[in-house]
């Protein structure tokens, strides 16, 4: 398997989904080995020698992790009139 970690800006994942349903998904992900960090503020992402270095703040603590891959998701806005 692949080690997976989610750095979530908000206080929970899936903020547009019912809170109970989102927590059920979050708990299942954790049970399956996904590490989830909430209330994160990404400071920088650097790439050197085929490794990403992600610097972020969580609370008053500054952290740095490394990864071979990064998926960045910024959210979405509906493209609809009316």
- Are 41 and 9 spatial neighbours (Cβ–Cβ below 8 Å)? yes
Residue pointed to by tokens 């992402």: 45
CA distance 59 to 81: 39
User: Residue 20 in 3-state DSSP?
Assistant: helix
pLDDT tens, residue by residue, 41-74: 999 999 999 999 999 999 999 999 999 999 988 7
pLDDT score for 82: 63
Overall pTM surpassing 0.95 (yes/no)? no
CB atoms within 10 A of CB 20: 8
Q: Are 42 and 7 in contact (CB under 8 A)?
A: yes
DSSP 78: -
Percent residues over pLDDT 90 in the chain: 82
């Amino acid at each position: 398997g692949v080690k997976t970690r989610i750095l979530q800006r908000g206080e929970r994942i899936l903020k547009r989904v019912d809170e109970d349903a989102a927590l059920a998904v979050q708990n299942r992900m954790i049970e399956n080995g996904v590490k989830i960090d909430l209330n994160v503020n990404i400071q920088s992402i650097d790439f050197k020698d085929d490794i990403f270095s992600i610097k972020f703040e969580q609370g008053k603590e500054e952290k740095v992790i490394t990864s071979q891959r990064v998926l960045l998701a910024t959210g979405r806005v509906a493209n609809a009139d009316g």
